[in-house]
Amino acid sequence: MNLYTAGQTICRSYLSTFYKVQVIGKENIPNHEGVLLCCNHIHLMDPPFLGSYIERPIHYMAKAELFEAPILKSILPKLNAFPVRRGMSDKQALRQGLRILKEQKILGIFPEGTRSETGQLQKGLAGVGFFALKTDAQVVPSAIIGPYKLFKPLKVVYGKPLNFDKLREEKASSEEATNYIMKAIAELIEEHNGN
């Protein structure tokens, strides 16, 4: 068992013990294709929660500052995380993200770039749209609906893959692609919040 799988098992046990976890739409994640998994960001636990209940491992972009801590620097790569400088204009991180998607793996991204202090969905960064337009990966919007309160409901929703054919034909900008993704995330939150 590698560190990612061990961490996944530990996180799943923790989450299932201390929260009323509900997982919706796991069947919407393709089994073998490259997947761009885009989710809102409300808590530090979002990355492990997003990946704890699905079989395929997720590769995450994580803020570069985390890789400056001695212990995290050695652990994070084993958890499939790689550094990105804030703003997602980091060319090396963009290349690595493209490589992950072209290798038919899952790239998990929080398009807002940082946690929302209010829990409200914030504007997404253009880098997410860049990945969606530049690869053939399936783009799966997802939503975490909290808050993270002990023994209270906590939900993760995986939406149906988005169709980018029209945006590609129209040669849409990365910003337009990101807005399309954020709209889908917002719709998931609205649909499943309180249900």
CATH number at residue 137: 3.40.1130.10
**pLDDT tens readout for residues 172-190:** 999 999 999 999 999 999 9
Instruction: Judge whether 22 lies within some domain.
Output: no
The model's pTM: 0.94
The strand ranges marked E within the chain are: 20-24, 35-39, 58-63, 81-84, 106-109, 138-145, 153-158
DSSP 8-class letter at 86: T
Question: Domain limits at 103?
Answer: 29-46+56-143+157-192
Question: By the 8 A CB rule, do 146 and 42 touch?
Answer: yes
- Confidence (pLDDT) at 26: 97
Instruction: Judge whether 10 lies within some domain.
Output: no
Instruction: Judge whether 87 lies within some domain.
Output: yes
Predicted confidence band at 154 (pLDDT cuts at 50, 70, 90)?
Answer: very high
Question: By the 8 A CB rule, do 109 and 137 touch?
Answer: no
β-partners of residue 158 are 142
